[in-house]
Amino acid sequence: MNLSMKDKILQHFLQSKGEPISGQQLADELGISRTAIWKHLQTLQEEGYKFITIKKKGYQLVAAPDRVDAAKISSFLKTKRFGYSIHYFEEIDSTQTYAQKLARQGAEDGTVIIAEEQTGGKGRMQRIWHSAKGKGIWMTVIIRPNILPHQAPQLTLVAAVSVVMAMKSLYQNFTPEIKWPNDILINGKKCAGILTEMLAEMDRVDGLLIGIGINTNHELDDFPEDIQSIATSIAIEEKKKVDRAELVAEILKNLEHFTDEYVENGFTSIKTLWEEHSGTIGKRIKASTIRETIEGQAIGITDEGVLEILLDDGQVKKVYSADIEIQN
Ligand code: BT5
């Protein structure tokens, strides 16, 4: 983990869950002086953390700013590789663009780029992804699975399963559903989107950039007017604010696990999970591809992650990439 000394100190406090920590013990553990500890605590106070001194016990963290930085995420982390290198920004144009640069420079498998705000958040096909400051999870995970270029779209489905299962394990008041291929909906409204980009040669994948955008703590007013009728957030549905760092850590745990499972055993088990959590299969849908619009019943996905639609004339059509609308 590439944490600075200040972040290491912070991590101790976050993991102590409100219990005081003695300055001497911290100094001994980290191999620095008590004065150095005190100086780092001063800097943390300037960043919005609040410590009080408790006689004979040490320092106690009593308030923390709402941020998704490396120290915060790592205090929840339960992974083997993912999330050990975290690049955190208060503001960035797009975590995807930055990830592309890092991936080209050889960033390791499981590197995370995360920001409080994106000024140029991207959806698919040059669409805009609204990324309000401090309200959501705007992150890209660089992964380097040993797969062939044509398998890359399956990783979008692996990511969708990872996100939806993380939500299900942390929240109780709603049921998220995957809408093929890359949306997570709650009660029919979009709460999260996934954008997978690939760095590849003809026959080899160098890396995948798994972009994950999740609306976590938005109130309806935090969305621009044009998406207020189609968007929602976890806080709106769960009826309480969520800890973004905890959700990030849970997603990273799932993403690492399911990517490994996929590389070792193929798409079959992921496909089953995806279908279990999908709100698309069995429904009548309208699919708009670049070439045409087709209507029919979504009957499943193939072993390649391709959507199969049963048309009214009995034909089964395979759809590789499209926007779909679920009909009543
Ligand atoms: C997606 O595209 O859903 C992929 C979104 C990926 C965003 C992440 S955030 C971290 C990383 N860095 C980036 O720059 N991007 C990734 P698509 O299926 O094309 O959906 C885009 C459409 O969703 C837009 O045209 C709007 O209609 C809608 N939309 C935009 N922002 C939204 C939001 N915050 N919540 C719900 N819907 C939104």
pLDDT tens readout for residues 156-212? 999 999 999 999 999 999 999 999 989 999 999 999 999 999 999 888 899 999 999
pLDDT tens readout for residues 103-160? 999 999 999 999 999 999 999 989 999 999 999 999 999 999 999 998 999 999 999 9
Closest ligand 1 atom to 94 CA: 14
Measured between alpha carbons, how far is 118 from 283 in angstroms, rounded to an integer? 34
Crossing angle of helices 34-46/23-30, nearest 10°? 100
Cα-based distances in Å from 250 to 26, 85, 132, 272, 298: 28, 16, 22, 20, 30
- Percent of the chain having pLDDT more than 90? 87
Pocket of ligand 1 (CB under 6 A): 94-96, 118, 121-124, 127-131, 138-140, 182-183, 190, 193-195, 211-213, 215, 227, 231
Task: Reply yes or no on whether the pLDDT at 29 is more than 90.
Answer: yes
- Cα 62 to averaged position of ligand 1 atoms, centre (Å): 35
Measured between alpha carbons, how far is 246 from 238 in angstroms, rounded to an integer? 15
pLDDT-derived band at 17, boundaries 50, 70, 90? confident
- Cα 159 to averaged position of ligand 1 atoms, centre (Å): 15
Measured between alpha carbons, how far is 264 from 186 in angstroms, rounded to an integer? 31
Beta-strand relationship, 204-215 and 323-326? unpaired
Give the closest residue to 85 by CA, choosing from 141, 9, 160, 15. 141
Mean pLDDT within 22-37: 95
Identify the bridge partners of residue 40 per DSSP, sorted by sequence position: none
For the four alpha carbons of 98, 102, 104 and 105, in that order, the dihedral sign comes to: positive
pLDDT tens readout for residues 268-297? 989 999 999 999 999 999 999 989 999 999
